[in-house]
Structure 1
Amino acid sequence: MQIEEQIALIERALALIEAGGSERGAPSISPVSRYLDPERHAREVERIFRRYPLALRPSASLAKPGDSFAIDVAGLPLVLVRGQDGKLNGFVNACRHRGARLKAAGLSSQRALICPYHSWTYGLDGTLRGRPSGDDFPHAPTSNCSLARVPVAEALGFAWAIPRVLAEGESATLDIDTWLGRFGTDLRAWGYDSWVPFHEHAFDNAANWKIPFEANLETYHFQYAHRNSIAALFYDNLLMADHDRQHQRLFLPKRSIEGLRAQPRHEWRVGPHSNIIYYFFPATFILHEGDHANAFTVLPESPGRSRVIASTLIPELPKTEKSINYWRKNVASFWGALDEDFALGVSAQSTLASGTQSSLYFGATEFCSAKFHADVKAALA
């Protein structure tokens, strides 16, 4: 983020603090069917998760040729592979012979992708390089048996993909910079393209994929849900938000920001005095915390279940025990608060089918959560 914009955000925050207010939008409702309806869930997978980029893995964990990562995304098995040319490739994780998965879930490294069923062998570029008794397949020429590609790109320290097979003539490389827009430019200015993972975390979440974003796009809950963790660092229900198409940036001033009033304006920096949430539609969340970032992507599995893949990115790997402990404390602090959010989301999901109410309510300071739902609705249309 450019210095001029940092100063403008700080000025905006100090004015709100002095006025004792917060930015607000229109109150709204959220129909409970959004979280329970199987037909709507299927449309969300098809019209949203098969059409928009998702951050699936820190790039630095796929650094060497042959490094690969297999994951199921919105019902499609994917494998991301670093090619011999250094470029990232994305394929459907399915052999073109009989459809067996080439790689088990998770990270691995290999010189080729070999099917465990009949040993069909693919290069890191997805081309079929060999198969036993190849003469038995005159009806399946090698040129027709390359792995099915999916669109991929690298940006902000992550490997991004859209879980769908490339259309005829479509580029295998996403125009990710255009998609990430001005908020991607913010993060790139801090050096995110070269940041590396210190900690990674994945877990099943017994709640609809949309619920974690509702929680993390408002601060109304901070003083209550986080009273024993991070609440004391922040102002009560103070939120500032900017939008770029479906993407959102939320500025959360810490109480320490008041100390900047006594400093020269040209020395102001947001890093030590705020958290900044970057939400990239549809399902990637990056929390910028000055010298590091915590990120997660939520993947839908059913109306009432999702899968969360998360990581902590830092500028470089620690070299001393002191720095290792520093980052461990940061990770523990983040997940101490986020675990509270996810637990409350599971609690909310567990009551929605009770028939108690047909809609949930978003107040005026929860307008970013309401915008999120409006953007999901528009994408479905």
Structure 2
Amino acid sequence: MRPERQREIVRRLLALHDQKSTELAPEPLHNPADDYTSTDQFALEQQRLFRDRPIVACLSVDVAEPGAFVATDCGGVPIAVVRGDDGQLRAFVNICRHRASIVLDGRGTLNRSIVCGFHGWTYGLDGTLMAQPFSCDGFASIDPHDLSLRRGAEAERSGLVFVRASSDEPIDLDATLCGVDDELDDFELSSFFRYDSWKSSWKCNYKLILDTFLEAYHVFALHRRSVARYYLVAPSTWDPFGPNLRYHSLQKNFLELKDLPEDQWDLESRGTIEYFIAPNTILSHSVDHIAVYRFLPRSVDETVVELTIYTPKPVESEADHEHYRRTLELHQRVSGGEDFLQQEGIQRSLASGLVKETIFGRNEPAAIHFHTALRELLQ
């Protein structure tokens, strides 16, 4: 993050600390339990937020080389992004045109073609059908152009890859990012290196998990046995970018900045800078890595979490491997073992029918914005 932007944010935070306060929303938010438990609400979100709207599929570094691919999910639609031999990135509905088998899984590098594992139908990296082995002209009456992989939409900016499942119409990234790309450019995400990832599944609504990333109010209690001793509960600050936002979690050493001249203020080394990219992605910058969390709803009460760690330089030495292995384990232990487990319990409480709402206080403004913005996107 550019120094002048860091200094502006630090001034705000130090002023709030002097006032013994934090940034406050105008009013608390009473959020109905149905927001997390309604199957009708979930179906609407799947269509409007995850199929009709662009979502982050991966970072550009994940598909930098020809043949590189990442397979993901957009509102229940399997979709894959593939870098062609021509350097162009293409998104496809990740379903074979023969018998609807999933074609690609996970991530990897292809050798000049895409081959379905069911009957061996073979597609070029541009999605064009190339071969139907041993078919004995069983499909000769069908125009092969009609049997190419269905296209989705794709776009790249600021080191992020976006996809949309519902159509191949061009993605309007200005409307999607609403200016947050100006800040993301400061981090030069395309220069990072993928280290490792962790995929897990949790019995709760995806919005419950996201809620925990957008406020530090819970840290002193929920994380009392892990990271609470390192972090402040307040102050905190945030800024909106349309439905997206930036949020800060501060380490206790942040307060040392008040005794330093402004030209020595370094916000990046004093906490976590988090960007939420609607509807389901968190980019979390800590001192020596970026953690990208993607939350993929499977049902109203089940969410798959994909976490990937990226590093500013290749991890080559044994010491660096050990450091980043422990970093990933810390994310698993704190986010998974504390935050996500807590949300599973809350999901059961809300599903009981006895709890009609949750309440976000004025001291949780980023979480309030998150819910308010998603409702606006659904209209």
Q: If the length of structure 1 is used for normalisation, what is the TM-score? A: 0.92
Residues 316-360 of structure 1, C-alpha deviation per residue, up to 9 Å, x if partnerless? 212212222222233233333212111111110011122222111
Measure the CA separation in 1 of the matches of 2:222 and 2:65. 42
Measure the CA separation in 2 of the matches of 1:178 and 1:42. 24
Matched, 1:148 2:150: yes
List runs of 5+ in structure 2 lacking aligned partners: none
Measure the CA separation in 2 of the matches of 1:332 and 1:295. 15
User: Partner residue of 2:374?
Assistant: 376
Once the two structures are overlaid, the 10-residue window that deviates more, 132-141 or 55-64, is 132-141
8 Å CA contact 2:254–2:270 kept in 1: the answer is yes
User: Partner residue of 2:69?
Assistant: 68
Q: If the length of structure 2 is used for normalisation, what is the TM-score? A: 0.92
- Name which of 253, 268, 271 aligns with 1:271: 268
Q: How many residues get paired?
A: 376
- Name which of 156, 161, 164 aligns with 2:163: 161
Alpha-carbon deviation of 1:192? Answer: 1.1
> Cα gap change, 1:18/1:35 in structure 2, threshold over 3 Å: closer, same or farther?
same
8 Å CA contact 2:92–2:150 kept in 1: the answer is yes
User: Partner residue of 1:221?
Assistant: 218
8 Å CA contact 2:61–2:190 kept in 1: the answer is no
Alignment of 1:1-381 (within 5 A): 1-25=1-25, 26-107=27-108, 109-132=110-133, 137=139, 139-166=141-168, 170-171=169-170, 174-176=171-173, 179-339=176-336, 340-381=338-379
8 Å CA contact 2:112–2:125 kept in 1: the answer is yes
Measure the CA separation in 2 of the matches of 1:291 and 1:220. 24
Amino acid of the residue matched to residue 83 of structure 2? R
> Cα gap change, 1:57/1:244 in structure 2, threshold over 3 Å: closer, same or farther?
closer
8 Å CA contact 1:237–1:365 kept in 2: the answer is no
List runs of 5+ in structure 1 lacking aligned partners: none
> Cα gap change, 1:134/1:182 in structure 2, threshold over 3 Å: closer, same or farther?
farther
Amino acid of the residue matched to residue 367 of structure 1? P
| SS of the residue 1:210 aligns to | helix
8 Å CA contact 2:155–2:161 kept in 1: the answer is yes
Measure the CA separation in 2 of the matches of 1:335 and 1:112. 35
Amino acid of the residue matched to residue 361 of structure 1? I
Measure the CA separation in 2 of the matches of 1:238 and 1:43. 36
Alpha-carbon deviation of 1:12? Answer: 0.9
Alpha-carbon deviation of 1:217? Answer: 0.8
Amino acid of the residue matched to residue 96 of structure 1? R
| SS of the residue 1:48 aligns to | helix
Q: Percent identity?
A: 29
8 Å CA contact 2:17–2:234 kept in 1: the answer is no
Once the two structures are overlaid, the 10-residue window that deviates more, 174-183 or 256-265, is 174-183
